[in-house]
Amino acid sequence: MNQKYSRTSVILLSLCAVVTAGCGTSSTGSSNAESTVSQEAATATASEAAAIATSMTEAQVSASSGAMAMPADNGGCPSIDVKSTGAGGKWTDELLTFTAPPCQFSGPRGYDTLDITGTLELTRSAGDAYNFASDAKSLEWAFTSGGTTYSESRTGTRTITASATGASAANNMAFIIAGAAHNGTLTHQLAATFTPASGLSLAAGEPLPSGNFTYAGNAQWAGSDGNAGSFSVTTVTPLAYDSTCKDTEPSVFDSGEIHVHLTSDSGNAYAKITWSDCGAPSVSFVAD
C-alpha cells in the first residue's frame, strides 16, 4: 500500500454543534421563526467550517478528509483506484471508495461505532504538490450510540489552491444532517482562506499547521421541520486553527467568530457563531 495511506484517518467534526441542544444556543429580540431557521443554518455552517479546515491538504483529505489517526491495519478502508498517473508515476486522478464494513470503527469520540460510506475522487496536475480538487458523492459518516444514529453526508466539490505561505478553498457542497437536533440540508458556496501562524508554513505531503481561517460566501438551508432560508456568511474574527486540537477536542478552532446573515426584508438579523479553547461552538441569534 502506498505510504500515504498507512495511517488512515477519519474526519471528526465539531459534532456537538449539530447533535445536541447543549452547545449553547440563544436568541435576542427575534421572531421565533427567524431565530430557529438562523440557528439551524448556523450550526450546520459551523460543522462545514471544520470540515473545510480538515480538508485543506492532500495529506488530510486523501485518507478520508480526516483528523483522527486510525490503526495502520485498516482492512482496506478505503479501497483506492488510481485512475491516472503523471510523471514519475504519481497519481493525478484517484478514486477512494468507503464501504462499511470494512470501513467501520469502534469507540470514536465516545460513540459506539462510526461507519464511513460513499466515494471521494481526487484530481491534481502532474507534479503538483499542493493544489488538488475533491469530488464527494454521498460521502457519509454515521455515528451510532445507544441504538441511535447521527449522520453527515456530503455531495459536491472542493478546489484547493495552496503554496507554502497559505491556502484557499472554493466549495460547492450539499451537506445533509440526519438524526441531530436540527436535521436538513445546507447547500453552500463558501470560500475559505488559510494563513499559517507566524513562523510556520505549509509543507507538501504534511497536514495543515496552526494558523487562521476566514470564511465568506452564501448558503441555503432547508430543514426537515419546514424551516428554510438563504444566508450570507462573513468572518468577523478569523478562526484560529489549532493543529494540536484536531485529534482530541470537540473543535479544531481555539477562537473566532462567524456571522450567518438571514436574507430577508425584516432587517439585519444574523446568527453568531463563536469558538473558544477548541470547544464546541456557541450559536446565538441577534436581531436589530
The grid coordinates of residue 128 equal 503538483
Q: Does 8 score more than 70 pLDDT? A: no
Q: Does 235 score more than 90 pLDDT? A: yes
Q: Does 78 score more than 90 pLDDT? A: no
Vertex 100, ends 97 and 101: CA angle to 5°?
Answer: 115
Indicate whether 22 belongs to any domain: yes
Q: Does 66 score more than 50 pLDDT? A: no
> pLDDT-based confidence at 128, cuts 50/70/90?
confident
- How many percent of the chain have pLDDT more than 70? 81
> pLDDT-based confidence at 107, cuts 50/70/90?
confident
Indicate whether 280 belongs to any domain: yes
Domain span at 59 = 7-74+124-286
CA distance 238 to 142: 30
Average of pLDDT values for 113-140? 89
The grid coordinates of residue 14 equal 465539531
Contact 188, 154 (CB under 8 A): no
| Total structural domains within the chain | 1
Average of pLDDT values for 154-164? 95
CA distance 234 to 214: 8
Q: What are the DSSP E strand ranges found in the chain?
A: 9-10, 25-28, 68-69, 79-85, 91-98, 104-106, 113-123, 132-145, 148-163, 166-178, 184-196, 211-223, 228-237, 239-241, 255-262, 270-276, 282-286
pLDDT at 172: 95
pLDDT at 273: 97
Average of pLDDT values for 210-230? 93
Average of pLDDT values for 76-100? 88
CA distance 166 to 162: 6
pLDDT at 65: 45
DSSP conformational letter for 234: E
Residue 102 has φ and ψ, to the nearest 5°, of: -90, -5
pTM above 0.85, yes or no: no
> pLDDT-based confidence at 5, cuts 50/70/90?
very low
Indicate whether 69 belongs to any domain: yes
Indicate whether 96 belongs to any domain: no
List the one residue out of 170, 163, 232 whose CA is nearest residue 195: 163
Q: Does 134 score more than 80 pLDDT? A: yes
pLDDT at 125: 86
CA distance 254 to 244: 10
pLDDT at 106: 84
CA distance 208 to 242: 9
User: In this predicted model, what pLDDT tens digit does every residue of 180-214 receive, in sequence order?
Assistant: 888 999 999 999 999 999 999 999 888 899 999 99
- How many percent of the chain have pLDDT more than 90? 49
Indicate whether 145 belongs to any domain: yes
Indicate whether 50 belongs to any domain: yes
CA distance 14 to 185: 17
CA distance 49 to 110: 22
**Residue 116 burial by Cβ neighbours in a 10 Å radius (0-12, 13-18, 19+):** buried
Which is higher by pLDDT, 63 or 67?
63
Indicate whether 66 belongs to any domain: yes
Indicate whether 163 belongs to any domain: yes
Which is higher by pLDDT, 108 or 218?
218
pLDDT at 288: 64
